[in-house]
């Protein structure tokens, strides 16, 4: 699949987490999304994620930026499961 492709699941999750229907996720929405995706995220963690994935620097994550975050999370989770608990 192309890197630009956004799955239906990611699109649905984005819509769910975009609580104010602004078309982008602000830090509090990103923290909520991370928590629901199984990441114990603090406000600081959410800000780090925002800075890392906010490609256009507008202070929020659009759908493609959110998709990049989800892709990275899934990769990390898959790698962690492969190596098992330490």
Other beta carbons within 10 Å of 25? 28
* pLDDT value of position 6: 84
Tokens found for residue 77: 């989770």
Contact in structure between 64 and 45 (CB atoms under 8 Å): no
pTM, full prediction: 0.85
What tens digit of pLDDT does each residue of 28-60 get?
Answer: 999 999 998 888 888 898 899 999 999 999 999
Average pLDDT over residues 8-21: 95
* pLDDT value of position 15: 96
CA distance 65 to 62: 5
Phi-psi bin for 84: left (phi > 0), alpha (psi -120 to 50), beta? left
Q: What are phi and psi of 19, to 5 degrees?
A: -60, -35
């Amino acid at each position: 699949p192309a890197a630009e492709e956004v799955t239906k699941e990611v699109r649905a999750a984005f819509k769910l987490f975009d609580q104010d229907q602004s078309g982008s996720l602000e830090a509090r929405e990103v923290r909520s999304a991370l928590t629901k995706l199984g990441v114990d995220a603090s406000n600081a963690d959410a800000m780090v994620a925002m800075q890392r994935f906010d490609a256009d620097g507008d202070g929020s994550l659009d759908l493609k930026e959110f998709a990049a975050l989800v892709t990275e999370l899934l990769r990390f989770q898959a790698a962690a499961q492969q190596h098992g608990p330490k």
